[in-house]
Structure 1
Amino acid sequence: MERTQTDINHLITLCKAGNRNAQFEVYNMYYRAMYNTALRIVKDEHWAEDVMQESFLKAFTKLDSFKGEVAFGAWLKKIVVNHSLDNYKKLNKDATQPIDNMLYKLEDGDNGEEAKVDFQQLQVQQVSQAIASLKENYRIILTLLYIEGYDQEEISEIMQITAGNCRTTISRAKESLLKKLAMS
């Protein structure tokens, strides 16, 4: 049985009052989606579990900052994404270059056209594997865009980059993904 927005709002009110049963219910409602979000970013099951649980703790302690301007799930997901990215960056300092340092330059003779790939024939697993094999910055930005559903403005905010660098990185990541998919 799906919960209504009224039920969720009531649970949030109880959580703000420190009701542990309400916190447990909220956790049970959202843990799987939040775990999957963390897993797509950190790429390790145990690490994703830790990040997800820490994110819930953070959310419950900062529940007073939740104003209801967005759905609770979206607010919680942003906490999970930010916490996942922070943890990933801490443990993989050498694996990623600062995304702000990336500039998109058209190669000589490149007319800017993307490689043509028939996405309907590709299996979801092939696309997931291709995304996973991309450079870390590309993998993260495409995950946020296509899997998590953030728009470019939100990604710029999350990644703490300019809108121009975000568009450029997305463009390069798409190009790299298309090349990988065309080769498979």
Structure 2
Amino acid sequence: MEKGTFQDVNAQVVERCKAGDNRAQYELYKLYSKAMFNVSMRITNDYAESEDVLQEAFISAFKNLHSYKAEASFGSWLKRIVINASVNAVRKRRSELVPLEDRLAEDVPEEEYDDNTEWQVEQVRRAIQRLPDGYRVVLSLYLLEGLDHAEIGEVLEISESTSKSQYSRARKKLLEIMKDTHSMA
């Protein structure tokens, strides 16, 4: 028997889930749990909270599988659920976006830095973790999850221009954190 493409196999597993097959649910969980945990972790910055978000997101996905129309990949559909659940978890912590006026983003001047300086992935990850929740969420959604500012605005219930401002300020703050870390080394 010839193996199908990942999308074909994935579609078959989703159909089995819709039919109530618990093994198929476990297969989907195994396929997507690590990637979705990482998405949540980048947003919540909390291991235990990301585990909770992951469980809630999968439960929600399985309950609402009938609404999945295969217009996008299952992974994209699930990722949206995880992003929304992660953002809600951050909100529940009573952390608010850094207050900003609702105006167009200011251009942040490009910082001059040594082109030979190469930041290690771990240093960047730690610096992102040090950002305030609002900055980290917008930066993660934009850079790491690939959402545009209109989508971020929709998810976070803010205007597109506020998303742009948050992103701009997050970049600036991230550079400051990285420079401070670098100067301490």
**TM-score, normalising length: structure 1:** 0.86
Q: Distance in 1 between matches of 2:50 and 2:177?
A: 26
2:101 is matched by which residue type in structure 1? L
Query: Against the structure 1 CA distance between its residues 7 and 37, is the aligned structure 2 distance closer, same or farther, given a 3 Å change threshold?
Result: same
User: Among 112, 115, 120, which residue is 1:116 paired with?
Assistant: 112
Aligned position for 2:101: 103
Aligned 8 A contact 1:115 1:179 in 2 = no
Corresponding residue number in structure 2 for 1:178: 175
Output the amino acid matched with 1:16: K
**Is contact 2:39–2:82 with CA below 8 Å preserved after alignment?**
yes
Output the TM-score relative to the length of structure 2: 0.85
Deviation, 1:44, is 2.4
Contact 1:103 1:169 in 2 (8 A): no
Letter in structure 2 aligned against 1:97? E
Pair 1:13 & 2:10 matched: no
Q: How does 1:18-167 map to 2 (within 5 A)?
A: 18-90=20-92, 92-93=93-94, 96-98=95-97, 101-103=99-101, 112-117=108-113, 118=115, 121-167=118-164
Task: For residue 111 of structure 1, report the CA deviation from its aligned partner.
Answer: 8.0
- Amino acid in the other structure paired with 2:88: D
Distance of aligned partners of 1:31 and 1:120 in 2 relative to their CA distance in 1, 3 Å threshold? farther
Runs of 4+ in 1 over 6 A off after TM superposition: none
Change in Cα spacing, 1:59 to 1:119, as seen in structure 2 (3 Å) is farther
Question: CA distance change for structure 1 residues 119 and 69 in 2, over 3 Å: closer, same or farther?
Answer: farther
Deviation (angstroms), 1:73: 0.4
> Percent identity among equivalent residues?
36
Matched-pair contact (CA < 8 Å) for 1:145–1:151: yes
Shift of 1:114: 2.4
In structure 2, how many angstroms separate the alpha carbons of the residues matched to 1:27 and 1:66? 16
Runs (5+) with no aligned partner, structure 1:
none
Matched pairs, number: 177
What is the DSSP-based 3-state SS (H/G/I as helix, E as strand, rest coil) of the residue aligned with 2:101?
Answer: coil
Structure 1 Cα separation of the partners of residues 42 and 91 of structure 2: 14
Q: Secondary structure at the match of 1:121?
A: coil
For 1:76 and 1:11, the matched residues in 2 are separated by 14
Distance change in 2, residues 1:74/1:119 (3 Å): farther
Distance 1:2 1:80 in 2: 27
- Deviation for aligned residue 1:2: 9.4
Q: Deviations over 1:9-38 (max 9, x none)?
A: 111111111111111111110011111112
* Aligned residues: CA RMSD: 2.5
Deviation at 1:149, TM superposition (A): 2.1
Deviation of the 1:179 alpha carbon: 1.9
